[in-house]
């Protein structure tokens, strides 16, 4: 199974996946030219592509370029790992049912929030991590796996616990998909 990982920033989940599945992770994509994920990809010898939505006349054209790249690289599964764009109809038409995402809350709590860790911690609800399929909504696709987390008094410690779970849960889910 050939995997492309989409990330908008740091890329720590990308690195975990690329190290765990070096024969499967074939591409890193970022919608930010300066994203650290691109440096991680370079260090791990994973081909990387970067372009931004503002470089295209519309989102459909942007996603059409992505589809061309994914097809050229024979990508079977798109893994979102901190990719902060909503997947649109052009990409969903070609890869629907083959795009997964990880979200740092126990969905449906804090769906769509870029600050789900802080918000779930402050509310002391929805604490956890969810891996789900991507559909037309925002964090509304079918859940693949979820883990609840206990409330910790310190936000930094809670955030660390979220990342530790992400680094175990996402590879576990992907491993099961590869072995199907």
Active site residues: 103
According to the annotation, is 101 in a ligand binding site?
yes
Can you tell me whether residue 30 is helix, strand or coil? strand
Within 8 A by CB and 6+ apart from 125, the residues are: 109
According to the annotation, is 24 in a ligand binding site?
no
Cis upstream peptide for 6 (omega within 30°): no
According to the annotation, is 11 in a ligand binding site?
yes
According to the annotation, is 120 in a ligand binding site?
no
According to the annotation, is 177 in a ligand binding site?
no
Only one residue has tokens 């010898």, namely 45
DSSP summary character for residue 133: E
According to the annotation, is 176 in a ligand binding site?
no
Nearest CA-CA partner of 31 in 10, 48, 1, 7: 7
According to the annotation, is 124 in a ligand binding site?
no
| Binding-site residue set | 11-13, 59, 84-87, 101
| Binding-site residue set for (6R)-10-formyltetrahydrofolate | 59, 84-87, 101
């Amino acid at each position: 199974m050939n995997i492309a990982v989409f990330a908008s920033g740091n890329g720590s989940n990308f690195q975990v996946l690329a190290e765990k599945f070096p024969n499967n992770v074939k591409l890193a994509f970022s919608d930010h030219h300066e994203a650290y994920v691109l440096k991680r990809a370079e260090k791990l010898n994973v081909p990387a592509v970067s372009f931004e939505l503002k470089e295209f006349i519309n989102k459909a054209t942007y996603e059409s370029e992505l589809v061309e790249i994914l097809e050229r690289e024979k990508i079977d599964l798109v893994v979102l790992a901190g990719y902060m764009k909503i997947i649109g109809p052009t990409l969903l038409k070609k890869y629907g049912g083959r795009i997964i995402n990880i979200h740092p809350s126990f969905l449906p709590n804090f769906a769509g929030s870029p600050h789900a860790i802080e918000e779930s911690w402050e509310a002391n609800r929805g604490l956890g991590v969810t891996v789900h399929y991507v559909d037309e909504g925002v964090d509304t696709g079918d859940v693949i796996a979820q883990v609840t987390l206990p409330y910790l008094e310190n936000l930094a410690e809670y955030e660390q616990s979220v990342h530790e779970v992400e680094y175990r849960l996402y590879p576990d889910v992907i491993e099961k998909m590869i072995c199907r």
